[in-house]
Amino acid sequence: MKKYAFPILILAVFETVAVTLWLTKDNIFYLFNFSYIGASVSLGIFLFFKKYKYARRIVQLLVGLYMLVFLGFIRGENMQIEGFWYYLFTGVFEAATIHYAVAKIFGPLIF
């Protein structure tokens, strides 16, 4: 049970961020967004601990398809680097800002 603590911790962190942003920004999107990504990453860590060969690729597929289909096609978010700077300087907290902060800045520092 001890080896499952880390995936549960990661999921708890993502859920904490999800609920906090949902309640402070009054937008249910944040709850779905961070819950889905947290569950995907936690699943990948769990499968990695189980020595599953394709754990990383499963996470890349889950998160990549989510970003392409839901964020890109359905919501029409600008996930390019230009979108990050645009949203950052206009003070809007959108998908590109979240993505670059988590995936490009804080993620590599943690993992």
Q: Is 101 exposed, middle or buried (0-12, 13-18, 19+ CB in 10 A)?
A: middle
CB 73 within 8 A of CB 66: no
Task: Give the model confidence (pLDDT) of 7-36 as tens digits.
Answer: 999 999 999 999 998 999 898 988 998 999
Tokens of 75: 């919501």
Query: What is the per-residue burial (b if ≥16 Cβ within 10 Å, else e) of 2-25?
Result: eeeeebeebbeebbebbeebbeee
Q: Is 81 exposed, middle or buried (0-12, 13-18, 19+ CB in 10 A)?
A: exposed
Task: Give the model confidence (pLDDT) of 81-107 as tens digits.
Answer: 666 666 667 776 666 667 667 776 776
- Within a 10 A sphere around the Cβ of 40, how many other Cβ atoms? 21
* Contact partners, residue 76, CB within 8 Å, separation at least 6: none
- What mean pLDDT is predicted for residues 62-79? 81
